[in-house]
């Protein structure tokens, strides 16, 4: 249901922008309502201010018919947008995103032991996912040995920074868990997580030598294949980049963690 709330929040902002823009456009429109009449194939415009027939608008006054037509259209948009926003506002006011899960997790631990939740909690799903074994990518002989605070071997100092950040913040991850991409083969994402928001795996790829043309070409090919498989940046794919001069920015890491992993 997170996706529903997220989409409704986006639509709420969209409607607010429409209301602001349309109200501003209507603030300086002239009085009246446009009536259009056809006479032997010729279009005639009338400005109805009081009566039904209205006053004829001369052909040389090209602006007034446009203003009146736009005004009527804007009024319809305002009415529809206000109605839709009212519905969304009411839903978001009463909707509790995690209410079903919290009805279980808010119980005393001893009571929880006596109950089978109607749906597994996120913590239960994450632990089950985390406990499933996997075989990661092998290290070539002669590769530098870099060990994270969690006690596992990683391939670079930047990956150690990331791994240590996740470990210190109690964020469960799997390092280089294999993933099959159709049309490409097996990849080993630097870090795989079980998303609390999506209830499925999401991936973090750190591309650390983007100033190396050969490395960058291979990285782009791999990232394009993620997208060809429906794993899109900003949804299920988190990306960080690095060059020799532009190193990993921990502030960016924190922002990404807060957005996707909290």
Domain membership flag for residue 88: yes
Residues 91 and 172 both lie in one domain: no
118 CB-near residues (< 8 Å, 6+ apart): 100
233: β partners = 237
Domain edge (last residue) among 81, 97, 113: 97
153 CB-near residues (< 8 Å, 6+ apart): 139, 145, 146, 147
The rounded percent of the chain whose pLDDT value lies above 70 is: 99
- State mean pLDDT over 64-89: 94
Domain edge (last residue) among 73, 97, 121: 97
Residues 244 and 138 both lie in one domain: yes
Under 8 Å between Cβ of 45 and 65: yes
Residues 51 and 149 both lie in one domain: no
- State mean pLDDT over 100-127: 93
Sheet of 201-207, strand order: 174-175, 191-194, 201-207, 237-241
pLDDT tens sequence across 13-27: 999 999 999 998 888
Lowest-confidence region among 51-55, 121-125, 158-162, 228-232: 51-55
SS3 53: coil
Domain membership flag for residue 33: yes
SS3 186: strand
Look up residue 76 and give its two tokens: 């319809």
Q: For residue 67, is pLDDT > 80?
A: yes
CA–CA dist 11, 13 (Å, integer): 5
Residues 140 and 238 both lie in one domain: yes
Q: For residue 58, is pLDDT > 90?
A: yes
Residues 158 and 229 both lie in one domain: yes
Look up residue 62 and give its two tokens: 């090209």
Domain membership flag for residue 126: no
Phi-psi region of 153 (alpha: psi -120 to 50; beta: other; left: phi over 0): beta
Domain edge (last residue) among 42, 73, 97: 97
Sign of CA dihedral 22, 27, 33, 36: negative
Burial 66-104 (b: 16+ CB within 10 A, else e): ebbeebeebeebbeebeebbeebeeeeeeeeeeeebeeb
| Surface-to-core class of residue 158, CB atoms within 10 Å of its CB (0-12 exposed, 13-18 middle, 19+ buried) | buried
Residues 177 and 231 both lie in one domain: yes
Q: How confident is the model at residue 2, as a pLDDT?
A: 58
CA–CA dist 225, 219 (Å, integer): 10
Domain membership flag for residue 240: yes
Write down the mean pLDDT value for the chain.
93
Domain membership flag for residue 182: yes
Looking at residue 73, what DSSP letter applies?
H
Domain membership flag for residue 86: yes
Q: How many CA atoms lie within 13 A of 181 on its CB side?
A: 21
Residues 74 and 165 both lie in one domain: no
Residues 148 and 67 both lie in one domain: no
Split at pLDDT 50, 70, 90, the class of 1 is: low
pLDDT tens sequence across 166-220: 999 999 999 999 999 999 999 999 999 999 988 999 999 999 999 999 999 999 9
Residues 24 and 143 both lie in one domain: no
**Domains: count for the chain:** 2
Q: Supply the Cα-derived Rg of the chain in whole angstroms.
A: 29
Residues 179 and 67 both lie in one domain: no
Domain membership flag for residue 109: no
Domain membership flag for residue 198: yes
Residues 85 and 157 both lie in one domain: no
Q: What is the CATH number of the domain that holds 161?
A: 3.40.1350
Residues 93 and 8 both lie in one domain: yes
Pairs from 148-155 (Cβ < 8 Å, separation ≥ 24): none
> In terms of residue numbers, what domain contains 139?
133-260
In the numeric block, the tokens 């060990």 are attached to 147
Q: How confident is the model at residue 217, as a pLDDT?
A: 97
Q: For residue 229, is pLDDT > 90?
A: yes
């Amino acid at each position: 249901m997170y996706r529903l709330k997220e989409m409704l929040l986006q639509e709420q902002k969209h409607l607010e922008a429409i209301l602001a823009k349309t109200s501003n456009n209507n603030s300086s429109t002239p009085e009246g309502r446009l009536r259009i009449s056809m006479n032997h194939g010729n279009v005639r415009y009338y400005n109805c201010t009081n009566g039904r027939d209205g006053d004829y608008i001369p052909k040389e006054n090209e602006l007034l018919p446009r203003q009146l037509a736009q005004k009527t259209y804007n009024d319809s948009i305002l009415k529809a947008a206000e109605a839709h926003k009212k519905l969304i506002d009411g839903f978001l006011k009463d909707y509790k995103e995690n209410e079903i899960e919290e009805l279980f997790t808010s119980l005393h631990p001893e009571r929880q032991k006596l109950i089978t939740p109607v749906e597994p909690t996120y913590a239960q799903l994450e632990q089950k996912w985390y406990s499933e074994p996997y075989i990661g990518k092998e290290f070539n002989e002669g590769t530098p040995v870099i060990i994270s605070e969690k006690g596992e071997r990683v391939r670079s100092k930047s990956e150690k920074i990331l791994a240590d950040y996740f470990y210190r913040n109690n964020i469960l991850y799997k390092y280089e868990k294999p993933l099959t991409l159709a049309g490409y083969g097996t990849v080993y994402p630097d870090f795989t997580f079980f998303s609390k928001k999506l209830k499925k795996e999401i991936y973090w790829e750190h591309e650390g030598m983007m100033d190396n043309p050969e490395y960058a070409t291979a990285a782009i090919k791999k990232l394009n294949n993620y997208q060809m498989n429906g794993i899109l940046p900003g949804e299920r794919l988190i990306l960080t980049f690095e060059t020799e001069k532009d190193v990993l920015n921990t502030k960016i890491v924190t922002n990404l963690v807060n957005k996707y992993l909290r």
